[in-house]
Every structure is written in C-alpha cells, then in structure tokens.
Structure 1
Amino acid sequence: MVPADRAQRAQAFISAFSLEVSAKAMSALRAEASRVAPGTTISIPYLPSEDDTARLAAVRTARELGFEPMPHLSARRIGSREALERFIDRAVIDAGVERCLLIAGDLSTPAGPFADSTSIIESGVLQRAGIKVVGVGGHPQGHPVMAGADRWRVLERKCQRIEEQGMAPLIITQFAFDADIVLTWLNELRVRGIPHPVLVGIPGPASIARLVRYAAMCGVAASTSMLSRYGISIGRLLGTAGPDVFVNRLVDGLTEAHGLVSPHVFAFGGIAQWMDWAEHYCRGVET
C-alpha cells in the first residue's frame, strides 16, 4: 500500500497541473473542459502558423470555459511595439488575461524592436496593460545557445526586472525526461536565492515515436540513457509511454525547500489521453 502522505502529495502535485494548448486545439479543450479543474492555467503557445486573431480567440475560449489563459509572446516575431500593445490590450479587455509567458523566439533577426524577452519586460507594456504574472523559461536540460552560467545570469536578471515592474515572476521549464536532472536544477535554483514558483514541463502520455520527435523539434536532450530513465526503451518505438516514472521520482524528491513546484503538461498525445492518465494515476496512488 502507498503511504497516505505520499499518496496525498502525488495527488496534490498532479491536480495542480497547467496545460499547454495551441489555438487550433481549443475544440479538444472544450470537449474535455468538464474534466479539467476550474481556474486551471491554459498556456497558449505562439506558433508561426497562427496569427493574433487566432491567439485572441483562444484566450477568449479558455476564459469562457472557466480557465486562466496565459498567452505566449515570442519577442523576435513581434513586428512593433504597437502590435504588442494591441494584442495585450485586447487580451486583457476581452479575456481578463493577467499572465503571459515570454520567449525569445527562434528568428535569428528580430522582426521588430524586441530582441529578447527582457526587452518586452523593460518596455513597460505589460505592466501598463495590467499583467500581474510574467512567465519566463527555465532550462534544466540545457539551452541550445547559452552555457550554464549565462542561463542562470539571464534568468536572475529577468526575474529582477519583472519584480522591478511590479509584477510576479513565474518560471516555466522545457519538458524533460530525467527527474533527477530537474531536481538538481531546482536545488541550484533555490540555492541561488531564486524563490519564484516553478512549473515543471512534463510530456503527457503519447506514442514513443512522437515523444522522441517532439524532443528533437524542441531541442530537448533525449539520449538513450535519459529516455530509459523516463521509462522508454528505444527498442520499442511503436509503444506508448506515460510520465509515471518521471512523476513518481519527482514527487519523491521534492521537499519544502524546493518551494512551489507544479506540473506543466505538454499533451502531445491529446488532452483526453492526458486526463485519462491523470485520473488513473491519482486512483493508483490511493492503493
């Protein structure tokens, strides 16, 4: 039998998830809305194939369904300060948006005045529009262009700038396959005196081939040994994998010293499949 305190911690951790949902997947969110807790944060990625009209429709849908929309802003893809102001103002007015996630974006040359997420923070646009929480990226498994020392320096500076603007920082990590790497990163985060809440990226249940493909697309390390620690065997790419091993190790390793840490779900296999897994997992830890 699973100890009661451990079962309660596992259930509380999973129940506090936020969910990454693209604008085109809003119909799937609507179909599963009754199974998702009211007030759940719905993180809406900034995809090059979707425009601001689609993104605004998505934040309105998330709010109408009773969730907390968190649109992403891709700094280098924003063409002008005016475009940023229009989008943020509409998101706040139409959907009561209070939080957003900033990413630099993958363009080598910025389309407008914002070279990185710090430049958006320092513009004052978010603060004046009424944004209260600003998410920034964390990278436990590394960054494609920044070394470790630079990553920490940039993260610390972003959080400081957000607080100077009167807003609250939120750290959201890339998804990972090795819980021990995440725990080590969380330890260093807190040792460095960075106290802000963390959403840990977790890939939801999906085919193994899809998980490996998304890892390659997102620049996430996925070596054979790392995948095996997640519970994936490269010899069975036709199978399906869920985050059971990852979540169990993370729950067992988290302590009060880690502060507020919650799961941020990338539902690569679909929202319904994630909800099925989460409900089954929570039932399982009761026994």
Structure 2
Amino acid sequence: MSAEQRAASPAADDRHLQLLNEATMEVIPLKGAQDQILATPEDATVAVTCSPKFGLRRTLEYCALAANSGRRVVPHLAARMVTDRAALRDFVQRVADLGVTDLYVIGGDAATPVGRYHEAAAMLDDLSSMEHPFTRIGIGCYPEGHPNIDDDRLWEALLRKQDWATYMVSQMCFDASTLTSWLTQARARGVTLPIRVGIAGPLKLAKLTELSLRIGVGPSLRFLAKQHGLVGNVLLGRTYDPAPLVRALLAAEPRPGGDIEGLHVFTFNQVPVFRAWIGTQGGATA
C-alpha cells in the first residue's frame, strides 16, 4: 500500500483521531494556566513546562493543580534549573506525593546553570541512583538541530540519555519528511526510543512564525511557507492547521504504526482552541 493510500484509508482516519484525542497537551505556567488545565478533558495528559523566568516552584504549583483535578501530569524538569542532588531529590519527592509517574527531562534554556547540572544526561544519571516513582521518563530530540548545540553533540547526548529514558519528544516541526528522515537516521545510529511528535496546535500564523524562528525550526518553517503560502496567510490573519502534518506523518512513517507513540501538542495556552479544532476533525471534545 502506498503512502497516499495509507493516508486515505479508514484505518488512517481512526489513527489520526486517536492521536489527536490522546495527545499530551503542553501548558505554560503563566497567569491563567489554571483555566487552561481545567479546559482539558478530565482524563487528559497535561505537560507543565518549566523556565528560568518562573522557576521550579511555579511548575510544581500547576502540576499539583492538574494532579488534584484528576489529570495525568507530566512535569518538565530542566537540568539547568536544579542546583544539586538534594534539590533533585526534593523535586522528585514532591511530584511523587502527587502520584506522578511520568517525567520529561530537558537541559533547559537558562544561559547559566543554577548549580551542578549543565545538561540533562548528568541529572538523569543522578536520578537513576535514587528512589523515584517514574515508570516513564521522556527526553527531548531535535530533528532540525538545536540553535546552540551542534549535531554531533546532539546525537551523542541522545544516545547517552536513552539509557535512562523510555520515550523521546521532538521539538516542534512542520514537515513530515524532515521528521521521518531524521527518525530513519536515528534508528541507524542506534536510537530505539519511541517518539512523541511535537506539533503546534492551532495558532495565528504570525505568532507561530515568531515562536518558530525563536526556537530554531527555520527549515521546517520554510517548508510551511512554500507549501501553504505563509506570507499571504499571515497577512490575512489566518490560523495554522495541524491536520495535514499529522496525516502526512502517518503516511510517511518509516515503519507505519511502529515509530510514533503519540503527539505532544504545543498549545501555547490555547487549549480551548485546540479542543474545538479536534471537534472539526471528528474527534471527541467532551
């Protein structure tokens, strides 16, 4: 069966809706994040980010809110925001008390680490030597590279980190062929982790363009511009539609059904918009 036939099949439609309905929804702990979390379905998986601006305290605050409301929570933990083993142990204990069993570990965006951890691998090493409740540990991957880390170091870090991880989450991408080509290369290099594909939720194209350039996904953005008349649509104030990307990913998987574990949606704190959009795809919104 060709990629086009797979994309058009009833099974592909079912898989498309399953991925959307079961997607992890990322929420940034800004003012109003409580409303965003409570706008997710009661059985949703909610990822709560962390950043140098707000600190781990804010991440923990909204993780508690999400967990206490019955949502499944995936805290983000940035290595550069953790001072030492004691601070790591404290964070682990606090999320364990919430019943959290899934943790997403990244290096973080802080220009200067607050303590001993300069990268995710070092912190994962320490985490592996202490008692923790995590049955799932996610790590980041960068199909289009990283603006501050060269490709050789990225591959080396990914291979090191997978010893402690159970899945990986890709940086936001717009081009299915870029991601699947990278995934084929990753498998050839010995990366075996399943992937949760990072996609942008529906967002005004002008804002999405700004954010994409900031995080270094320029090549994929150029694909979006070429395929979808980005400049004209920005001027018209149109909104990005993730559906073609998801369908293209399903059609282009190197191993159909075998590599993509799920989706990680960058909602940009537009959860109601994302859920309303799922409804237009035939998915559940209740």
Q: TM-score, normalised by structure 2?
A: 0.86
Residues 105-144 of structure 1 aligned to structure 2 (within 5 Å): 105-124=108-127, 127-144=130-147
> 2:45·2:73 contact (CA, 8 Å) conserved in 1?
yes
Q: Does 1:11 align with 2:22?
A: no
> What do residues 176-229 of structure 1 show as CA deviations (whole Å, max 9, x unaligned)?
111110111122223334222211110000101110111122222256632235
Change (3 A) 1:230 1:134: farther
Counterpart in the other structure of 2:238: 239
| CA shift for structure 1 position 10 | 1.4
Change (3 A) 1:141 1:58: same
> 1:26·1:61 contact (CA, 8 Å) conserved in 2?
no
Counterpart in the other structure of 2:197: 200
> 2:46·2:73 contact (CA, 8 Å) conserved in 1?
yes
| CA shift for structure 1 position 173 | 0.8
Counterpart in the other structure of 2:161: 158
Structure 1: give runs of 5+ residues left out of the alignment.
Answer: 163-167
> 1:138·1:172 contact (CA, 8 Å) conserved in 2?
yes
RMSD over aligned Cα, in angstroms?
A: 2.4
Structure 2: give runs of 5+ residues left out of the alignment.
Answer: 1-7
> 1:32·1:272 contact (CA, 8 Å) conserved in 2?
yes
| 274-283 vs 201-210, which moves further | 274-283
> 2:50·2:77 contact (CA, 8 Å) conserved in 1?
yes
**Distance in 2 between residues matched to 1:187 and 1:13, nearest whole Å:** 21
Change (3 A) 1:258 1:187: farther
Counterpart of 1:213 (choices 195, 198, 210) is 210
> 1:16·1:262 contact (CA, 8 Å) conserved in 2?
yes
Counterpart in the other structure of 1:87: 91
| CA shift for structure 1 position 75 | 1.1
Counterpart in the other structure of 1:273: 273
> 1:28·1:271 contact (CA, 8 Å) conserved in 2?
no
| CA shift for structure 1 position 251 | 1.8
Q: Does 1:21 align with 2:50?
A: no
Counterpart in the other structure of 2:263: 263
> 1:75·1:102 contact (CA, 8 Å) conserved in 2?
yes
Counterpart in the other structure of 1:48: 52
